[in-house]
Structure 1
């Protein structure tokens, strides 16, 4: 049976070169790019073998842990279909233990795994050159590759249980954004470090932690043994325990798939509902899905969202002209981005136009409406801030200021959302009708539109004043103030957000009639 499964796997690999010419071309181009990336990574691993043991360990451990994490996340993010899914073997009445072993072994025969094996061999060469024993290096390669393969198999199995046979494009997009939020800041952090022939302190701290985690232990113990560190035994134990746990999880998944038949999909129409198939089936989830559709498709929302980063970057020019140091000016745009993202939904109810009648007619309470309307801005703003903050700090050049910037941004963003939740229900003002140019503003008398805009923005700044003050102290006087800015900013922002949503929900519930009159009149 094992030989048959392996032959089947090889046939599937060769089948990628037959069929639709465009598909074959994409596959070949992907393999060439992967081979080029693997060759470059192998060269990088081999080029450090003459460096210090610490440098070899830092590079191989960090990269090995990143590869292991990638094998665990890629099957979920990429929404791939497993051609050797255990459920396809139900009709053959095969023993679960033998099938699990055969499928795990077949997982070695894939282009990414072959590239991983090449990288692991190059890492082993560097380990031996740095003083590790050949036995420890070979054992690390076997454990590391097996751990990656089992991580991928378990991830595919879990994804099959959670997401079923279909995963919406929206959910895959969210997962991809999540990975980018993790990868981009880490890449910015590594690129900004000053090596100067030694391992930077921040990177060494990260590597020391990764050495005793399930994703990094297998890549760490050879060099820990080489330098006579007794903790190498602990790393080896963690690596073996991780491998055993993954093997047990994979066996349990195979047994589950062979003995369980999933309920057939009867709600086939959910496949075309987009965001409505992703969010929970609750009133707040329905509001969130409808708001996501508007925010990602309505050009009025899109223009408002796209203008924010450009407007924030433009604030650097007058600061530089005024003589503000460039490293300080680099931190200002991300603060403006956080402020404007929190301020942006202060009038989102008005953009619904007459569609608000669905909320009123269905008896929707204020809390689901307020919470649901905040989901789109959270989905958009959090990745932008998560990527923008490390970039700003890297341009500033001092990573110790990062906690202060995180706290200030959190306070500005969350407090802005809380105040916007009140303003949009208490004082909506006319906006551009649906389908009209987003740059065209309706005529209105008085200053009713300017007042809520100003109150939300000034209120967010006033609430965030303590965090901003401690951030300034961290920049100019003592870096210890950065931790105060972090905790004060996060706490203040979350408190204002919760209070704002609660008050806004009460206002929405009491003013449904007035809100409907506003929608009909505007």
Structure 2
């Protein structure tokens, strides 16, 4: 049964590649990127092997502890990203829980995260190449450590099954997972600065020594014992590591059996809302109805949440980059970047509609009204945010005239981006997470098609912003306030013209391709 489950996981992955050539291209590109990252880390491990044993042990124990902790947390927050071999699907079948647990655990290596983790953990042997016993111990400890990561991920996700079954938890989890990814640079830099300023560098070996006896770092600490010839300590630590692994697998098997016998319910429905909500904010016109429904998505659909959540994070990331470069001008880029991103955010609106797009197809809605309604919904949120971020130069000690120039570039980028997106979403659709699914999920058939369409749309929106950028550069080079006023005027006039043109062209394509759009969103492709 274990071998059958592994074969089934491989067949599911292979069938996903056959479903669409774009999926295969996307997997190849993703694999090449993953291979590049893995090679860089392996090169780093090889370089680490030239240091003394204490430093090698400290670095590997701390890095292994962080990796193990991420395996315990990220699968819970990202529940629903990979739904292949979901344990709940095996509830109707009389499969012994022991066989099911073993099979599901080992299938974790049939995939990019598990395979890369196994390779990198085993590759720790390169760092211990000066000591043959330590290198051999690193291979065994790395394989067991990777297995423990998968078991810990299964344990935490199964224990949190009643939470992850809740849509509200998945939405909050997505936001919690997205925030540290955006602020990864400032977080790492802040931790490094804190450790250096607090004089904790000398304490890291002691910290690693403590972590080396916990489930987080016990596997990574085994090679150091072999390198030091501490065989008694090695045996005791190995017994602890095997005990941690066995206890985790046993506890997960118990929770898995209980979850299959008593599946978590879907939970209560959402609270009823009084009134029409955003639908009552707009006139009773076709474009008003589209705007109201689209704005409801912006407030309640977690797939749109990333576009809003990232807004307050970008100024923080740019502030950190500006402090490192000791130049305030990095902060000036925050507002234009947010503007282009928000304009780009509606480029997949039709795809996100899913089967609800039938409302647009069966009511005889004109394409120009559809495009205009979606633009207005996005503008309700994006315009105030962009205007507010345009005042960042004042906070950075800049001149008030700088605000005019930044505001012109930002509004120009937002308006032209909305125009380009109005054309793109009517002409190209692609697979997206369905309503209620995890926003990070990659549907079969997406792959490179998503990357190509999004990259092309973003590139065109950026090219449309070149006149404003040229005037902005002229303003900062010459210091002449006239260029600031020209930037604002060109941003409003040219951006508005591109928006009107995009709504008009997108509306025509919408009318001409309505049956194809309906078929595409129904099949989610």
TM-score, reference length from structure 1: 0.49
Please report the TM-score for the alignment, with normalisation by the length of structure 2.
Answer: 0.49
- Comparing both chains, which one has the higher relative contact order based on Cα–Cα distances under 8 Å and sequence gaps of 6 or more? 2
